[in-house]
Amino acid sequence: MTNCLIVGVGGQGTILAARLVGMAAMEAGLSVRGSETIGMAQRGGSVASHVRMGGEIFSPLIPPGEAGVVVAFEPGEAVRAAEYLSPRGIAVVCDRPIQPAAANSASAGAYSAASCMDWLRASAPVLYEADGEKIIARISARCLNVALLGIAIGAGAFPFETKHMEAAIARRVSERYVKMNIDALRRGMALDF
């Protein structure tokens, strides 16, 4: 079984990313089970999508310490999800922070994304850092999710092949964005931003 946890801040496109991973696994003939965060947290809260692929799967949630890959759209959320990583797990982390509005308005101030990235460098068994500003500037904020999935595929984190993910994108994404997303996927795989 391969467990993939996708985390981020509500509104970043984690739900679609998780669907794509699940669909790609099904394209590859694997059984899939997973769980979504839908509801209030979609308005800027912490969100997590669990995707479990292959073999006999009971629970839709991944237990801590059993995620082979964590794809994090945000550095703070990556740290929060780190307890889910398995001892040889791969973390793909977008380094672009989203500061909570509350931190901005309260005296607490912003949190440090840099210290989160440092912590991850010291703690994650395998870490792929994605330069979020570059991805947004050179590809599109809309494709950040698929670019990150591309990095994870390139890292060999998933039990399916690129063609399966491409097929999932073609089925799920609306037609006019398919090319853009497949391009983002390939650039993610090649770490070309």
Q: Give the span between the Cα atoms of 81 and 145, in whole angstroms.
A: 17
DSSP letter string, 64-121: TT-EEEEEESSHHHHHHHGGGEEEEEEEEEE------HHHHHSTT----HHHHHHHHH
Residues within window 78-107 making contact with another protein, judged by CB under 8 A: 79-80, 98-106
Q: Give the span between the Cα atoms of 37 and 60, in whole angstroms.
A: 12
Question: Is the separation of the CB atoms in 45 and 100 below 8 Å?
Answer: no
Q: Smallest distance, Å, CB 132 to another protein? A: 10
Interface map 140-169 toward another protein (x if CB under 8 A):
-x----------------------------
Please say which residue, 59 or 190, places its beta carbon nearer to another protein: 59
Residues within window 169-188 making contact with another protein, judged by CB under 8 A: none
Question: Is the separation of the CB atoms in 169 and 146 below 8 Å?
Answer: yes
The yes or no reply on residue 123 touching another protein (CB under 8 A) is yes
- Which parts of this chain interact with another protein (CB under 8 A)? 9-11, 19, 22-23, 26, 30-46, 56, 58-64, 76, 79-80, 98-106, 109-112, 115-116, 118-119, 122-123, 136, 141
